[in-house]
Structure 1
Amino acid sequence: MTSSANSRPCSRMPPPAPCLGDLEGASMTGVTLEIARSLALALPEATEQDHHGMSSFRIRGKIFATVPDPGHLRIMVGEDEIRACVAEDPHAFSELYWGKRLACVTVQLSEVGSKRLSELLTEAWLRKAPASVAREFRRRAGYAS
């Protein structure tokens, strides 16, 4: 395991498409909500909508991330990825349960780089996107099936 917030030691997903990589002006560690929003909305068909008083990012109505406050993002990746993130860097990532279910990873934006954040947003988007949309995205980005 590595200590860098930008590495992906346990992830199953390939890196995001080149257009979702580091943004100009983003540091290796620490992103702003503005950068996080840009990364989320760069995904195909992604929209931003209110969700009980907080912003949410969606693909065809399905939420893949929420903004509980300006310093954090909640990203709906799988349980294995949530646990891997927390093990990778407990200062940057924490688990969030919804009832008894491990629901998402909470990301402290000041502790994560734009590349790692983009990877997580892409993975969450792929989990929520319709199969045909996800398949086309993977094809265009050169992802393995």
Structure 2
Amino acid sequence: MNRPKPPLSILVVEDEFIIAMDIEMMIEDAGHQVLAVASSLQDVMALPTDKAPDVALVDMQLARGSTGLQVNSAIQKQWPDTIVVFVTANPKKIPDDFDGAHGVIAKPFSSAGFVAALKYLEEGVCDPPPVSPEPGSFVASPAFAAQWGVSPGER
């Protein structure tokens, strides 16, 4: 896997328009690029496949009855090197193995907490392991935490 370099290219999968806009603004304010915004599995499947996102931020409950777990599976098949992070108000509903995803950011989150999670992800994705302490706003999956040599956090 070639390690991405900042700025990260980020796919946002969120069905609540205002939340998606807030996330998009925070990503751009942190110096990263929003590759696309999707609200459902169908939207993700319709994206061009030639440009893989470095990171996908995926809500768990999406439009048209689709779920974050379905989107995660589709992303892993389409772009296997993409880092998938769930963004959800119900982190305890994520399977213990995170279904192969890399972490979770719990809603609600503050702008500072979200940006801290992005910085931590950038460090871990671009030049692992991250040098910053894991922010309270981000929990790495057990597999990702082991890869980085950090302890998985509490959800």
TM-score between the two structures when normalised by the length of structure 1: 0.36
Relative to its length, the structure with more strand (as a share) is 1
Flag the structure with more relative contact order, 1 or 2, with Cα contacts below 8 A and sequence separation at least 6.
Answer: 1
TM-score between the two structures when normalised by the length of structure 2: 0.35
Relative to its length, the structure with more helix (as a share) is 2
